Amino acid sequence: MIRYIVLLRHSRNYRLLFSAGFICMFGLWFSVVGIATLLIELGAPVWAITAVGVVSFVPNVFLAPINGIIVDKFQPKPLMTAMFITEMISIFMLIFIDSLDYLWLLLLIVVVRSVAGTLFFQTESSTLPKFLSRPYLKLANEMTGIIWTITYTFGMASAGIFIHYFGVRAAFILDFCLYVFSFFILLRLNFKDLAKNAPGPVFKMLKEGFSYLRSHPLVVHLIVLHAFVAVTTYDNLIALLAKYKYKEILSASLVIGLMNMSRSAAAFFGQIWLSKIVNKHTFFWLLLGQFAGIALWAVLEFNYWLSFAGMIAAGFFITTVWSYSFTQLQSHVDREFFGRVIAYNDMAYFIVATLVSAAIGFFFELGFSLSQITFGMGFMFAIAAFYYKFLIYEKI
């Protein structure tokens, strides 16, 4: 942990980004659990639950090339500030959803928040390599994973309990208040020391971005590898488990919150331990470990309490898989193409996340059990392991 403290002391800008990210990401999970709980309480059909997951990813697939140009074209602080304000407005609008008659508005809010949040993250990810050296960049990506796991663990648990006692609307209000607090932290960012962007015409930048990918096949392979992480888009799966498999055990909010808490807690401890041993040689085995963990979860899903062991196994490897594959991508991209490549990476990620979210609902409607669907998701990491072994390992 000392090395992470050194990173926070080393860079004021990163310290501010870390602080704001930690606070608003904690609040994010209140909205995530709140939306899932709201849909279940309102008696939403399977397609509606699935649609919320799908629409949060689809727009970013088509906007990714444009986002990349925006990130490379504009200065980071004004862009990040604008996106953060957009997110705050979208969170505030959630407070007024109280009927399935407003499902269209809920879907629109999810789209707007997802697009704004994605552009914010792409700007942040493209800016970090400009003021952090490669060793610090690796630590920063690991810290992003740690932020996610800590806030996910306590956020999901707290959200489940909070919503159980105070309701969905109170959760949305709390999320909004935390974002407002984080906004004032972001205003203190100072990127004046960074080199000014020198963008060209939009269509020329777009063409140069795709040409860059064609001439750098390793970057393309790393984008594909990182996209496998999107297979762990479990939101729809856990919502369906809460609605159909475990509905007699606890309230929907508690089921969703506790299940997500267990896998994120495992991801936190996994990141702390695995970050010490992950390298190009061990990464293959970590991918296979992720497959084995999800497979165990699939086997144990028949019992809610036993499934926690599977959730822990499914979460143990994933943050390290995310941070290592993302660091490798950042490390092999030229500075002037950071924004566009990160955006293309997100496009691939969101394509996979969209397909997974849609497939969960589709196969469930076809009659596949949730355990079979879970195992299929895990098997994708066995494919990822051999993809890495034969197409990437020797080139990095």
Per-residue pLDDT of 216-275, as tens digits, reads 999 999 999 999 999 998 878 888 888 888 877 877 778 877 887 788 788 888 988 998
Q: Residues near 145 by Cβ (< 8 Å), separated by ≥ 6?
A: 267, 271, 319, 320, 322, 323
B/e letters for 303-330, b = 16+ CB within 10 Å, e = fewer, are ebeebbbbbbbbbbbbbbbbbbbbbbbb
Extract the tokens encoding 264.
Answer: 């994120």
With tokens 């959760």, the residue in question is 171
Distance CA 22, CA 33 (A): 18
Q: Residues near 366 by Cβ (< 8 Å), separated by ≥ 6?
A: none
Distance CA 311, CA 300 (A): 9
Average pLDDT over the chain reads: 87
Q: Which of 334, 69, 74 is nearest to 202 (CA)?
A: 69
Extract the tokens encoding 93.
Answer: 């609008």
Model confidence, pTM: 0.74
User: For the residues of 52-90, what is the DSSP string, one character each?
Assistant: HHHHTTHHHHHHHHHHHHHHHHS-HHHHHHHHHHHHHHH
Structure confidence at residue 196 (pLDDT): 54
Extract the tokens encoding 314.
Answer: 């499914």
> 167 in the Ramachandran plot: left (φ > 0), alpha (ψ -120 to 50) or beta?
left
Distance CA 120, CA 122 (A): 6
Distance CA 104, CA 63 (A): 21
Q: Which of 234, 279, 282 is nearest to 260 (CA)?
A: 234
How do residues 28-37 score in pLDDT, each as one tens digit?
Answer: 889 988 998 8
Distance CA 102, CA 55 (A): 15
Distance CA 369, CA 363 (A): 8
How do residues 272-304 score in pLDDT, each as one tens digit?
Answer: 899 889 999 999 999 999 999 999 999 999 998
What letter would DSSP give residue 196? P
Can you say how many angstroms the Cα of residue 190 is from the centroid of all Cα atoms in its chain?
Answer: 26
Distance CA 45, CA 249 (A): 21
Could you list the pLDDT tens digit for every one of the 396 residues in the chain?
A: 677 888 888 888 899 999 998 898 888 889 988 998 898 888 888 788 778 877 887 787 778 778 888 887 788 889 999 999 999 999 999 999 988 889 999 999 999 998 898 889 888 888 888 788 777 887 888 888 788 778 877 777 788 889 888 999 999 999 999 999 999 999 998 887 665 555 566 677 778 888 999 999 999 999 999 999 999 988 788 888 888 888 778 777 788 778 877 887 888 889 889 988 999 999 999 999 999 999 999 999 999 899 999 989 999 999 899 889 988 998 898 877 877 888 888 889 888 988 898 899 889 989 999 999 999 999 999 999 999 999 999 988
Structure confidence at residue 272 (pLDDT): 85
Cα dihedral 118, 119, 125, 131 sign: negative
Cα dihedral 89, 356, 118, 30 sign: positive
Q: Residues near 24 by Cβ (< 8 Å), separated by ≥ 6?
A: 87, 178, 179, 182
Structure confidence at residue 199 (pLDDT): 59
Structure confidence at residue 200 (pLDDT): 63
Q: Residues near 206 by Cβ (< 8 Å), separated by ≥ 6?
A: 65, 69
How many Cβ atoms are within 10 Å of 367's Cβ, its own excluded? 7
Structure confidence at residue 72 (pLDDT): 78
For residue 143, what is the enclosing H or E element? helix 134-166
